[in-house]
Amino acid sequence: MNLSRSLRRRLDRRCPQDALASAAARLVLWVGIILGCLGCTVAVAEEVRQFGEITLQRLPGLPEGKTHGSHEYVFRLSNSSLQQPHEVILRLPATQGGGNYGLASFETQVRVAPQATMEVSLLQPELPINGQDIAVVVDGDLQDTVYPWNNEHPLGRMTVGGMHSTSRTPMRLLVGRRSNAADLPDPADDGGTSPLIPFQVLEASVPIAQWSERWLAYSGYDGIVLSWQEMNAAPPGVAAALWRYVEAGGNLLLFEVPALNLPTTRLPSSNGLPSERPKIGGRSLPFPVTSRQDGPWVDADGNRLPADELAWSYVGLGELLWTSQQLAALSTTAMERLGQAWTSSRAPWAMARNIAQVHRQMPVIETINVPLRSLFLLVLVFSLLVAPINLWWLSRRRRRIWLLWTVPAMSLLACVLVVVVALVGEGFQYKGRSLGLTLLDQSQQWATTLAWSGYYASTGTDGLRFSLDTEVAVLGGGDNRRRLRVDGEQRLTQGWLVPRLPTYLLERRHQKRRERLEVTWGDDSIWVVNGLGADLEWLVVADASGRTYRSQGPLAAGAKAELPQRMGQTAGATPEVLRGVFGGDFPRQLRHLWEAPEAALQPSTYLALSRRSPFLEVALAQIETPRHDGLIYGLLGETP
């Protein structure tokens, strides 16, 4: 301090003008500090609000800016009451903005126990919210004040098909705080002017220990980039959510992986699997790995990707990729392989379709019986009665003043008759159809489902209902003023299903399931017990050697049957077969699996078709006989 005072006195004696400038600078600095402290105080006051005995606070979360999937908002609710629990509803937005598209309102309801503090996770689907602030309802009473909130997650104006991504939209990558993802090279085309792989880095503002434990919070990212240390330091809940994200079709890139942990350095044991599997995030590394010494991937120019630069393994419907190098050291060929992984993860939401195209591929109702002839005759009779005949009759009776009530009465009667004729002509119809693929891992007891679903109602309904672990995207239909309520399930109320207009959705879910197929192995045949919870149209099973066995006909739920070996038919699919289904034209890929199941099977797997798949949700309660065409791709684990 004495040194600084001495230096300041010397400067003051040397140049009075500099001394004045220094004093002014110090004054500005102190004013800035004071204003900054006031600003921080105001910011904290905006983040924490009191609503009676309920305290609401917004918590930092994962970065915004995604083009599909869900976005998570996290709040902390506290109840200061000693005895009284409170029912709290958070409704977004409190103030509607201009325009009528996206989500008109989105609300969630929770119960806060006395003297309890809980975190509430709000998952906004792919549709934008047009408005600001959050309305708070405590025990049915709408609070006078609102919680300040701005629309931080705009996904762009909705198109007819509900899609926001195209092939030219940059991929959104979630990166950790220590990932230095800015070092990712940007491979350019031959001209060197535009990137071949457009991507945007979204860096997390919170450490990985504070990341979400819900996999749907990551569903909108086209890829996640983490260092080996970050992934292994993730809490068990976060690591499990990241694994579920990958299994559901995402991809995870790990860099700076120790060379000892690369599978190419491991010697396989007698059963073909590595004798010691390295672990990532508390979980054993999946196998088989497609990185081979002869080059696992070749680009359009014939360039091979060295096995020691980038390795990958297919996990569920997604991919795990890793490298021992730093991000800046990745070659153009490696970046092209990464771009392929990112594109595949976004593919189901990037295919621009409208409701007519989806209806042609999967019609939920063949024909809509509108009684046009009856309606035309009704309108014709009404026009004759309400004008010339009514006027002539009242003129003869000298009661023209009665026009004031006869015309409205006849109009009301005509409206009622139009509704009756329409209902009689079509009746009360509630239709639902789904086409999906379920990957069932029997050893891990999880199931990932990707499905197209269509719904049709001739009259108004209370909407659609889905479980909390289901991601819902719009393929077509609806009136773009949708309302969503979350209270133990997702209730898609107004705007999602318009009477007499089909609505098509893209669904994805990752669930814990205990259904399984019990297999007893023989020499030339096998015995199976259908424990999948639904009747099967057909079933094909492959053993560890690739030999296939097919059922002779339908297999009822709970039934036991013998499957003979199919001579000349072997399971010869590569590990990326399911990844191709996820990233390709989904209905066409499912038809290929349907027509040639043996070509899609790998050793120790099975493929089955069910017309009432238990993994496809019945979202419309009025449907009595839904049609759920679901392919079930099962992983048996270790087999003889």
User: Which residue ranges make up each domain of the chain?
Assistant: 2-48, 52-142, 171-350, 372-423, 429-461+497-640
pLDDT digits (tens, 9 = 90+) for 579-627: 989 988 888 899 988 888 988 998 899 999 999 999 999 899 888 778 8
Q: Which residue has the higher pLDDT, 41 or 369?
A: 369
122 DSSP assignment: E
pLDDT of residue 465: 93
Question: For residue 42, is pLDDT > 50?
Answer: no
Cα 556 → chain centroid: 33
Q: Which residue has the higher pLDDT, 306 or 63?
A: 63
- Could you tell me which residues are beta bridge partners of residue 518? 529
pLDDT of residue 5: 40
30 DSSP assignment: H
- Mean pLDDT on 511-528: 91
Cα 302 → chain centroid: 35
Q: Which residue has the tokens 């008109």?
A: 104
| 87 φ, ψ (degrees, to nearest 5) | -95, 120
Q: How many CB atoms lie within 10 A of CB 336?
A: 18
Which residues fall within 8 angstroms of residue 513, CB to CB, at 6 or more apart? 440, 445, 446, 447, 615
pLDDT of residue 101: 67
pLDDT of residue 83: 92
Report pTM: 0.81
Query: Is the torsion defined by CA of 407, 409, 412, 413 positive or negative?
Result: negative
Question: For residue 159, is pLDDT > 60?
Answer: no
Q: Please name which of 443, 508, 174 lies closest in space to residue 286, comparing C-alpha atoms.
A: 443
Q: Please name which of 572, 622, 582, 607 lies closest in space to residue 464, comparing C-alpha atoms.
A: 622
CA separation for the pair 489, 58 (Å, rounded): 23
Q: What is the 3-state secondary structure (H, E, C) of 347-405?
A: HHHHCCCCHHHHHHHCCCCCCCCCCHHHHHHHHHHHHHHHHHHHHHHHHHCCCHHHHHH
pLDDT digits (tens, 9 = 90+) for 104-147: 888 999 999 999 999 998 888 878 777 888 999 999 999 999 99
**Under a CB-based contact definition with an 8 Å cutoff, are residues 270 and 295 in contact?**
no
Q: How many CB atoms lie within 10 A of CB 266?
A: 18
CA separation for the pair 533, 448 (Å, rounded): 16
CA separation for the pair 160, 178 (Å, rounded): 40
Q: Which of 191-195, 419-423, 514-518 has the lowest mean pLDDT?
A: 191-195
Length of the chain: 640
Q: How many CB atoms lie within 10 A of CB 440?
A: 25
Cα 75 → chain centroid: 21
Segments of 17-116 assigned E as strands? 48-51, 54-59, 71-79, 86-92, 95-96, 103-112
CA separation for the pair 57, 46 (Å, rounded): 9
Q: Which of 26-40, 179-193, 361-375, 469-483 has the lowest mean pLDDT?
A: 26-40
Q: Which long-range contacts (CB under 8 A, 24 or more apart) does 395-401 make?
A: none
Question: For residue 404, is pLDDT > 70?
Answer: yes
**Under a CB-based contact definition with an 8 Å cutoff, are residues 44 and 77 in contact?**
no
pLDDT digits (tens, 9 = 90+) for 556-576: 999 999 999 887 778 878 888
**Under a CB-based contact definition with an 8 Å cutoff, are residues 91 and 116 in contact?**
no
**Under a CB-based contact definition with an 8 Å cutoff, are residues 228 and 257 in contact?**
yes
pLDDT of residue 69: 87
Which residues fall within 8 angstroms of residue 484, CB to CB, at 6 or more apart? 103, 105, 106, 107, 125, 490, 491, 492, 493
pLDDT of residue 555: 94
Q: Which helix (H) or strand (E) holds 440?
A: strand 430-441
What is the DSSP pairing of strand 318-322 with strand 54-59?
unpaired
CATH-assigned architecture of domain 52-142? Sandwich (2.60)
pLDDT tier, 472 (very low <50, low <70, confident <90, very high otherwise): very high
CA separation for the pair 136, 132 (Å, rounded): 13
- Could you tell me which residues are beta bridge partners of residue 189? none
**Under a CB-based contact definition with an 8 Å cutoff, are residues 298 and 311 in contact?**
no
Q: Please name which of 111, 233, 93, 239 lies closest in space to residue 154, comparing C-alpha atoms.
A: 93
CA separation for the pair 226, 287 (Å, rounded): 20
Cα 223 → chain centroid: 13
The per-residue pLDDT of the chain, averaged, comes to 79
